[in-house]
Amino acid sequence: MKLKVIKIIIFFAFLLSILWFGRETIAEYVVSNPIPPIEEYFSSGGAYTDCNGRLLRSVANKRGDFLFPVKLRNQSKELIEAVITAEDRNFRAHPGFDLGAIIRAAIQNLKNGRVVSGASTITQQVIRIAVPRERTFTSKFAELFGSILVEAAYSKDEILERYLNSVCLFGNVRGTAMAALLLFGKDSEMLNLAESAALAAAIQAPGRYNPFTKKGNLALLDRRNRILRDMLKLGKCSESEYKNALKEIIPTYRKKRAFNAPHFCDYLESKYGKPVGTLETTIDLNIQNSLALILKSHLPRLARQGATQAAAMIVDAKTAEVKALCGSAEYGPISGGFNNASIAPRSGGSVLKPFLYALAFEKGYFPSYTVSDTMQPFKTPRGDYLPENAQRKNYGPVSIRMALGNSLNVSAVKMLNRLGVSDFYEFLVELGILEHKERGAETLGLGLAIGNPEIRMTDLAEAFGIFGNAGVLKTLKFFKGQKQIAKEIISKESAYMIFDILSDPSARLLTFGNPSFFKFSVPTAIKTGTSTAYRDCWLLGHDQNFISVIWVGNFNGQPTRGLTGATACGPIYKDIYNIKHEKKTVSGQLNKGSTEKRVICAVSGLKPSAFCKLKSSDLFVKSEYEKISECHFHKITGNYHMLNPEYAGWLEKRKKNIDADPFKLNFDNNAGFADNLGASIKIVSPHEGDRFVYSAFHGTPIMLRAIPSRVLSEIVWFVNGVELERTPPPYETIWYAEKGAHIITAYAEGAIASQITVMVE
């Protein structure tokens, strides 16, 4: 009875002392802080996880603490019970402070003449963590009365969740989720009874119970066992669970803090700021790790040909979620590995050609439309521009399917010249590949067709998705809950026709052949690109599940030794394709819109005439097929494919290697003056206003070349009114010019002549 009276007296004396000595502090605290600002602690720093909740990286908050906040449901039940047992057994029942614990602590401290026990509840500890104060008598009052307010504002689970995510463990590591990874190498929801009790034991004094020192590990083991014994007494574990838990040791070495997808996390932090709490990203760590290993495994092969770096990203084709991103082959100082090639502007080579032909389809062209892949100079502000194919040869009449599939430069430049540089430039701006700049189209010129602008991998991945997504552009998604913009850029039909061409192995045979790394089990659209001097090698791959973009080169801009998009990136893509499709099959079919296959002349790509012997089929928009013209390659019975004058030079060169050429210029029978009526002549080399520098050593040779609107027997060249030469097809000759202004005329009797003026200085 006496002991009970003593306890009551001590309690009321303690409570009265609080009310008396701390009355001003308490009043001030309650008025100025209705609820302790505990959320401020959680408003900076946090962590990135992959789409399955696995930690990618923790980011320090403004105090330098590393947190990995997780939901309470993602903490193991054993851990929750162990922490409550060790820190606050009446947590579920008290209003923020525990009177019984206060009395016990007061008695113990009075008996020992010093502080040997505290009475802080979990709620009070949350306040202490979030709003640190000097450990004084008044701070105790603030925490005690603040705990009442916090309990009124938050549920017990919300308070416990914040506590488990912020409690100090192992230096500047905060929270049980991070501690579980560092000590046990597993997520906190996977902790067993022994592991849970060990973390709960360390909370009381992380320095004293440091598992990474011999003394601390033994002390932690002893305290863990005491907590396990208390849990057994409280009925929170069975006898067998208790005995098995006692047998487990506590690791003595610290696991490395997670540092996955480094370039991806760097990018998110730079673009969106530090994460607040835990941000679930779209990355799939399994795919991410596989991609990193693949890139690293190809480095020795690439290094032998002068490439020291590689980068790649994988995007979900339907959702535009980024599933993996490696900005270099290895994050580190070697070969500039800290650089992030996924967001670095690099020369794109031929990767823009699919977008060029997509614009052509939007303007009424079709896959079998014939483009003349023949030599032609173009006048530019910087002088004549003479595009060449990678193989330094021309292929004559080629369909858009063949031109795109084989990535022919000459055909692409001619198509861009027809469509207009400005239109294509604005189209690339709309796609997000280029940023709009004043006079941007004029600056880039016809080089847009073969990739002279610098572009970014992320923008390419985003834009390339339109071909598998019915022409709809979706902005890339990097984290859960991120807002996306989706807009229709091209028609379903145009998108499908481009995808069909790029996934057609026969369309690329001319220049790429049929290498093993371009053989796939599902339809896969492939586009490669190689920049000038083999500096940048690209490959874009797109099946119905994933989009992949790969870059190979050197961050210092040094050229490789002849590597191309196909040879550098093809083997890498094959490995990526294999890991992507281990467990995932093609889902659904692409949206074809109103496209259908129709019969065409296999040579001209037009509606077959009665004289077309070779027929094939290709894709058309249903409403457009009837509008195309009949084949003009075959107007009479015979074995020849009759071509217009644009192919004259190409045919002339073929004579050297082909004895019986199936292609032939379309000369009218009994050609003469009357047949020339209505024909016009265009001088294509040189151009009006061209200026040349005279050389006293070898003169100034100038190529004269003209193309008539239909085949003429000959063209007569005049310089300053004096006849120079008569040229049959291919209507070209060399003229050695002297200094001065010169008027050049191309003439044929009955035809409309052409005239230009040039200057030799």
User: Is position 149 within any domain?
Assistant: yes
pLDDT given for residue 478 in this prediction: 98
CATH number at residue 156: 1.10.3810.10
Helix, strand, coil distribution of the chain in percent, nearest 5: 40, 20, 40
The answer on pLDDT for 543 being more than 60 is yes
Q: State pLDDT tens for residues 360-377.
A: 999 999 999 999 999 888
Do residue 439 and residue 308 come from a single domain? yes
Q: Compute how many other C-beta atoms are within 10 angstroms of the C-beta atom of residue 69.
A: 24
Q: SS3 sequence, 644-690?
A: CHHHHHHHHHHCCCCCCCCEEECCCCCCCHHHHCCCEEEEEECCCCC
Higher pLDDT, 721 or 79: 79
AA letter at 436:
H
Do residue 563 and residue 620 come from a single domain? no
Q: How confident is the model at residue 42 (pLDDT cuts 50, 70, 90)?
A: low
Q: How confident is the model at residue 110 (pLDDT cuts 50, 70, 90)?
A: low
Q: How confident is the model at residue 670 (pLDDT cuts 50, 70, 90)?
A: very low
* Cβ proximity of 423 and 355 under 8 Å: no
Residues 6+ apart with CB under 8 A from 273: none
Do residue 471 and residue 617 come from a single domain? no
For a pLDDT cut of 90, what percent of the chain falls above it?
63
Do residue 397 and residue 333 come from a single domain? yes
* Cβ proximity of 478 and 464 under 8 Å: no
Which two three-digit tokens encode residue 463?
A: 């834009």
Do residue 615 and residue 705 come from a single domain? no
Do residue 109 and residue 196 come from a single domain? yes
Looking at residue 403, the DSSP 8-state letter turns out to be: H
Q: Which domain holds residue 691?
A: 673-760
The answer on pLDDT for 672 being more than 50 is no
Do residue 560 and residue 605 come from a single domain? no
User: Is position 429 within any domain?
Assistant: yes
User: Is position 315 within any domain?
Assistant: yes
* Cβ proximity of 550 and 569 under 8 Å: yes
Q: State pLDDT tens for residues 126-164.
A: 888 888 877 666 677 777 778 888 888 899 999 999 999
Higher pLDDT, 136 or 245: 245
CATH number at residue 696: 2.60.40.10
AA letter at 46:
G
pLDDT given for residue 627 in this prediction: 92
d(CA 296, CA 281): 24
| pLDDT (average), residues 408-429 | 96
Q: Compute how many other C-beta atoms are within 10 angstroms of the C-beta atom of residue 89.
A: 15
The mean pLDDT value of the chain amounts to 88
Q: State pLDDT tens for residues 433-486.
A: 999 999 999 999 999 998 889 999 999 999 999 999 999 999 999 999 999 999
For a pLDDT cut of 70, what percent of the chain falls above it?
89
Q: How confident is the model at residue 400 (pLDDT cuts 50, 70, 90)?
A: very high
User: Is position 267 within any domain?
Assistant: no
Do residue 612 and residue 705 come from a single domain? no
d(CA 484, CA 457): 18
The answer on pLDDT for 11 being more than 80 is no
Residues in the chain: 761
* Boundary (domain end) residue, out of 247, 274, 306: 247
How many domains would you assign to the chain? 4
* Cβ proximity of 684 and 732 under 8 Å: no
- Residue located via tokens 């062209």: 365
Higher pLDDT, 536 or 153: 536
Do residue 230 and residue 317 come from a single domain? no
The answer on pLDDT for 584 being more than 60 is no
Which two three-digit tokens encode residue 690?
A: 């061209």
Q: State pLDDT tens for residues 62-77.
A: 888 888 999 999 999 9
Do residue 409 and residue 358 come from a single domain? yes
Residues 6+ apart with CB under 8 A from 194: 224, 228, 244, 245, 246, 248
d(CA 31, CA 35): 10
* Cβ proximity of 710 and 666 under 8 Å: yes
The answer on pLDDT for 337 being more than 90 is yes
pLDDT given for residue 71 in this prediction: 93
Q: What is the pTM of this model?
A: 0.86
| Pick from 281-295, 470-484, 702-716: least confident | 702-716
Higher pLDDT, 111 or 529: 529
User: Is position 641 within any domain?
Assistant: no
CATH number at residue 456: 3.40.710.10
Q: State pLDDT tens for residues 172-182.
A: 888 999 999 99
Angle 2-21/137-153 helices, nearest 10 degrees? 90
pLDDT given for residue 16 in this prediction: 47
The answer on pLDDT for 32 being more than 70 is no
Most confident region among 514-523, 554-563, 705-714 by mean pLDDT: 554-563
| Pick from 21-30, 293-302, 407-416: least confident | 21-30
Do residue 571 and residue 603 come from a single domain? no
Which two three-digit tokens encode residue 59?
A: 């980011």
User: Is position 276 within any domain?
Assistant: no
pLDDT given for residue 12 in this prediction: 43
pLDDT given for residue 142 in this prediction: 75
Which residues are registered as beta bridge partners of 630? 607
pLDDT given for residue 671 in this prediction: 45
User: Is position 33 within any domain?
Assistant: yes
User: Is position 711 within any domain?
Assistant: yes
The answer on pLDDT for 115 being more than 60 is no
Q: How confident is the model at residue 18 (pLDDT cuts 50, 70, 90)?
A: low
pLDDT given for residue 35 in this prediction: 65
Do residue 507 and residue 575 come from a single domain? yes
